[in-house]
């Protein structure tokens, strides 16, 4: 895509824990999304 920028989707709960939405691929090739709790966003 032209002109698109990658930006991590984040959510911060009321305790202050930040979650990042990450994407994985299943064995059948379908996209699977899951939350990761990290200090830095995934690359």
Q: How far apart are CA 32 and CA 23, in angstroms?
A: 6
The domains of the chain are located at 9-37
- Model's pTM, two decimal places? 0.57
Q: What are 3-33's pLDDT values in tens digits?
A: 455 677 888 989 888 898 888 899 999 999 9
| Residue tagged 């994407």 (tokens) | 23
Q: How far apart are CA 42 and CA 37, in angstroms?
A: 10
More confident residue, 38 or 13: 13
pLDDT of residue 1: 46
pLDDT classification of 43: cutoffs 50, 70, 90: low
33, 23 contact by CB (below 8 A): yes
């Amino acid at each position: 895509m032209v002109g698109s920028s990658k930006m991590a989707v984040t959510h911060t709960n009321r305790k202050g824990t930040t979650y990042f939405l990450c994407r994985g691929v299943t064995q059948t090739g379908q996209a699977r999304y899951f939350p990761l709790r990290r200090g830095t966003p995934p690359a």
